Amino acid sequence: MFIRRPSDIGLIVRAARKARSMSQDDLAKLLGVSRLWINEFEGGKPTARLDLVLRALAELDVTLTAHSEAEVSAGTELVETPTNSIDIDDIANTGLVSPSSSLSKPRKKRR
């Protein structure tokens, strides 16, 4: 299935949830959100938080794969690999990058 709009992801989540005989309330409790949020998300809510979307997909064992339709010359990387690694599971589980991450900007001390 091609995902072009938020509603496409919502349809996938709804189908996966129903295939597992889960109610919207069951999924909401797993994610720590309201049933209304699940309902809006499955309906294509364009402002759904990415961390919650990723957690919902993980709970339902749904994997997304990205492909580029652009013509790319041999040996060209489509995505830059950062020198500091980021664990997508940590982001999906907490919604935040850990404060000990070297990607965080150091805070200035207040006087």
Q: Let me know if 13 is exposed, middle or buried by CB neighbors in 10 A (0-12, 13-18, 19+).
A: buried
Q: Would the pTM count as exceeding 0.85?
A: no
pLDDT in tens, the chain (111 residues): 778 899 999 999 999 999 999 999 999 999 999 999 999 999 999 999 999 999 999 999 998 887 777 766 665 665 555 555 556 566 556 554 444 444 445 556 666
Question: What residues have CB less than 8 Å from 83, skipping those under 6 apart?
Answer: none
Domain boundaries, the chain: 1-65+84-103
Which residue is it, tokens 């069951």? 26
Which string of DSSP letters, residue by residue, matches 59-87?
HTT--------S---TT--SSPPPSS---
pLDDT reported for residue 78: 55
What CATH number does the domain located at 1-65+84-103 have?
1.10.260.40
